[in-house]
Amino acid sequence: MLRLSIVLVLVLFSFCMVCTESAFAKGERYGVSAQYFNIDSVKFDEGSTDETNTIKFGLVHSRPIDENNNRWRWLFNLNYLSAEVPAQSNLGSQSIGIYGVYQEVQSLQFRVIPQYAVADWGWMTPLLGLGISTSYSQYSERWQVDSDGIKYGDQLEDIEAFEFGLVASVGTVIKLGSNPNAHLQLVPEILYNHSFNNGLGGIEFSLTLLF
């Protein structure tokens, strides 16, 4: 976990430096986000995890892709989560030799999502987006759990993994204020995270405040 903490500090420092260099560029926004994340179950060689819910927190930066066309923008998002993931609970009564896996995870995720404004209703702008994500995750306190919910055998080895996937989003920008270059933006979104290599995926409900 110490390695992930060091990575987190370095990435946050780099993010702040980038924000400082371009803080007064036209159309750019910086902010914070919170996400309610429903993590899908994941299958390992030792067994499967169950679905679980957790909260992620993040830093956000958005900027126009083309200053002459404000319908498109980049969204850069850096998220951190720490969660306990329960073992698969529906093993059934005939599950001799079949186990679920309990584990704890800490993950640092970076994603880039091009977003398109499908309409402009003045104070509200609905958006669609499709982008990519990459994560560095550490899985610890991993145990096989039997159908009775009892830990079985020895503790499993910790896992460190770089994960990557696709992110699809639909949401809207709610503009707070009358000045088009200075207003705050409240951005509720629904996102789906698809992992290509057995990582953290699932549906996410996000709320972002940009300024």
**Whole-structure pTM value:** 0.83
Q: Return the pLDDT at 22.
A: 43
pLDDT in tens, 162-202: 999 999 999 999 998 877 666 799 999 999 999 999 899 99
Q: Return the pLDDT at 178.
A: 74
Q: Return the pLDDT at 114.
A: 97
The span from the CA of 177 to the CA of 186, in Å, is 11
**Is the pLDDT at 146 greater than 90, yes or no?**
no
Q: Return the pLDDT at 154.
A: 93
Q: Lowest mean pLDDT: which of 18-32, 62-76, 99-113?
A: 18-32
**Token pair recorded at residue 200:** 């953290």
Q: Return the pLDDT at 148.
A: 79
Q: Return the pLDDT at 150.
A: 86
Mean pLDDT of 102-108: 97
Q: Are 201 and 52 in contact (CB under 8 A)?
A: no
Mean pLDDT of 113-118: 96
Coil, strand or helix: which one is 23? coil
- Supply the DSSP string of 110-138, one letter for each residue: EEEEEEEE----SSEEEEEEEEEEEEEEE
Q: Return the pLDDT at 92.
A: 60
Instruction: Give the total residue count for the chain.
Output: 211
pLDDT averaged over the chain?
Answer: 86
Coil, strand or helix: which one is 81? strand
Q: Return the pLDDT at 194.
A: 97
DSSP label at residue 8? H
**Token pair recorded at residue 111:** 């994603």
